[in-house]
Chain A
Amino acid sequence: MLFSAPEFQFTRDGVCQNLRSDGRENHESRPVEISLGNHESKLSESFNKKKRNNMMIITRAVGQAKVRMGKGSCGRTEVVCAITGQVCSFDEDEEEDDALLLFMGQRRSGGGGGRDKTGGNEKAGTSTAATMPSVEVYVETMSTRNVGSAVGGGGKGQHQQQVFNETDKYCGELKRELEFAYGSMDLLNKESGLRKSLEIGGSSHGNGSKQGGRRRHRWKLRMDFLVLSDDGNALDALAIAGKCALFDARLPRVRVKRRGEDEEVELVSDSEEEEDDDDDDEQLEKGKEKESNSSSSSNTTLDVSDVPLIATATYFGRARQQEGVTTMTTITIDDEEFLPTIAIDCVSSEESCGDFALAVSATREGAVTSVQRVGGFGNSSAMAVESDVSDNVIKFARKHCVKIHGEIDSTKKMKIH
């Protein structure tokens, strides 16, 4: 993003004075608005009957969430997350693959279709979890707002190619960062709440008939993220969307039914009739639709208690010395001391002014699960950061992370009741 020297200085001074250009203080984030797929219809029904069912954007998804930070045409970051489930089976002693599969795409005009399904082969059960590259056709300049300064040069085609590459790079970055944060969630740990809720049932027919060669079944989730508009801090928004979509997800209740040989395992939806259909996938789809029509209580929900959120804090370096004004060295929030030039939830103009930014993922309890340096911005001289500064930034981000956790939790509670 192009940013002139006076603007750069103005923005940095704003952070030093604890007043940013949209009126927020450094520790304040933009108001976050969350709409959930499965809950929203109910919620708005109670409030306003007219607005019912306005949220179901992605009909095939088992869970979805849209997160919007900020308002207006500028300063708005909007992301969507959709979750689809897939049942995979594998031998008990087989190596387990990742339970989460991340997928990221940025909106392109006209590039709606052409997205491959995962080469999901449930029967094989081996880790075909490699993420598929998104097949996208056109570039929309609106979504390239944050994708570097794509300044002219060359012909039009070359310019587009450049923007295209930049967009891909940007999506890849976000995906890596999100994967990193979720990867630290320790999903392979059997005690993890989310992992437990993905297991499919032990109460199958003829369970004890054969001990050896028994196959186990588990849901495999696929989270599709889409950045609709990006004015800074997309990563935090994505993490919130991810968590909310997982919370929103309603997996159809299935159980394992086996007939004769062990290999011929069928998954039968737990609805009224037990349908005998050879195609697993199709039947699952049917089951899903049926379940979503009937009461949602028969669907399984996911335990999202240990899914982390991400908070990105940007450090703006030391305040400029001003004549006659003594700059503060620390500020105190809730009896904790912080450096005065750390800001949370930066818009893109602020992001390009910072020295460095750290994305900290933390659980509800405040346990930091991952820390990573994000964004290609900042000056390179700040590569070597003093450890006490970075510690302080992490502390700041962690505090904010816990705060959003709390806010989301209270939102969720309200939506359930």
Chain B
Amino acid sequence: MIVSEVEQQMRERKMSALQSLTTSSAPSSRVMLYTTPGEVVDGVNASEGFLKGHGTQVSEGELRATVSGVVERVNKLVSVKPMKAKYTPETGDVVVGRINMISSKRWKVDINSRQEAVLQLSSVNLPSGQQRRRNEADELNMSRLFDTADVISAEVQSLFQDGAANLHARSTKYGRLSRGVLVEVCPSLVKRLPQHFHALEVAPGVFIEVLIGCNGFIWVGSPGAATSKQATNEKSKTHEEELVVVDKKERENIVRVANCVRVLDEIFFYVTPQSIMSIYKQSEGIDAKSILTSDGFLARVIEREIDARTRTEEDADML
């Protein structure tokens, strides 16, 4: 609350670092085109002809952006991908979602996208792994599988005509998430990777599980919170397992990793296991809560990133 002179300096340092990050260190190899709403999209030749894609509009014969973001071109199709937007599901994405409501034979899931996603009862496995019997009792017991407000992991199976996602959780690795905390970041910060379940080794032999959902929902929890669900016959048993008290040491690690993810969102860096670990390593020596609040720490992180980027650029020049 009290802004001392040192803190003020740190804040300025952070701001200037952020500024130089955005201006100077764009990789020279591939030039990104940023536009703001209303701006004429650069490099579009009207005489050659173009196709207007998402995020653009033609006015007075010129192609203008309607959102602020990065220009993407595929042959003649020009579109602008917004920097901060809702998640657009694609088939195969691993997502983390929250059950919004239960309707007949399906769950409605909030996955941070424009429409609610649908998870059909027929596209989940029973926790015991056995085949589901299609009867009424089964439908009535839906809330015992996933109840309203539960956080689950799932995969986008297909897309409906209107762009809503049809999810499935037909593998043992998908299901309800527990013993951890949900962190929300901007969906554009999550890259699609071959693997979205990660166990980060925060200390030798100590793991924290992180599930980076493509929709910007990230689950940070203790080992086994997201993956390796034990297939047990009794449902109640797994419920009990989920409610086990996380001891303080483990919680400290979870909180620290969660704050690292929050920092990445704050400074708008990609959220990958590597970037989380890099922040985590840099944060050694300061408390978990200062990761978020200390401007000095943020300044150091950003300056390091600038260093790294300029170094790779120099390397590229050397080659």
Contact = CB atoms under 8 A, between A and B. Distances in A.
Nearest to A30: B293
A411 B149 contact: no
A414 B2 contact: yes
Given A3-B149, A4-B150, A6-B242, A23 B259 contact: yes
B20 to A, nearest CB: 15
Given A19-B255, A71-B292, A410-B2, A151 B179 contact: no
Interface residues of B, number: 49
A197 interface: no
A208 interface: no
A72 B289 contact: no
Contacts of A151: 100-101, 148
A33 B2 CA distance: 8
Interface stretch (B125-133, B181-189, B272-280): B181-189
Contact of A32 (B1, B151, B186): B1
A23 B183 contact: no
Nearest to B100: A151
Contacts of A24: 289
A318 to B, nearest CB: 14
B147 A71 contact: no
**Interface size range of chain A in the complex:** 35 or more
A48 interface: yes
Contacts of B183: 74
A28 interface: yes
Contacts of A14: 251
Contacts of B8: 47
Main SS of chain A's interface residues?
loop
A6 B2 contact: no
Contacts of B254: 21
A149 B149 CA distance: 10
Nearest to B185: A73
A408 interface: yes
A153 B103 CA distance: 10
A23 B178 contact: no
B64 interface: no
A210 interface: no
A23 B180 contact: no
A73 B12 contact: no
A410 B3 CA distance: 10
B248 interface: yes
Interface string A214-236: 00000000000000000000000
Q: Which residue of B184, B251, B254 has the most chain A CB atoms within 10 A of its CB atom?
A: B251
Contact of B252 (A19, A48, A74, A75): A19
Contact of B151 (A4, A9, A404): A4
A6 B256 contact: no
Contacts of A6: 150-151, 176-179, 242-243
B258 A31 contact: no
A23 B266 contact: no
Interface string B253-271: 0111011001101100000
Given A4-B147, A23-B289, A73-B185, 20 more contacts: A2-B148, A4-B149, A6-B176, A6-B178, A6-B243, A10-B246, A19-B248, A19-B251, A24-B289, A47-B8, A72-B263, A72-B266, A73-B186, A74-B183, A74-B184, A74-B262, A151-B100, A404-B1, A411-B1, A414-B2
23 contacts: A4-B151, A5-B149, A6-B150, A6-B179, A7-B151, A10-B179, A19-B251, A20-B255, A21-B181, A22-B289, A23-B255, A23-B259, A23-B287, A24-B289, A30-B293, A33-B1, A48-B12, A71-B266, A73-B186, A74-B262, A151-B100, A152-B108, A414-B2
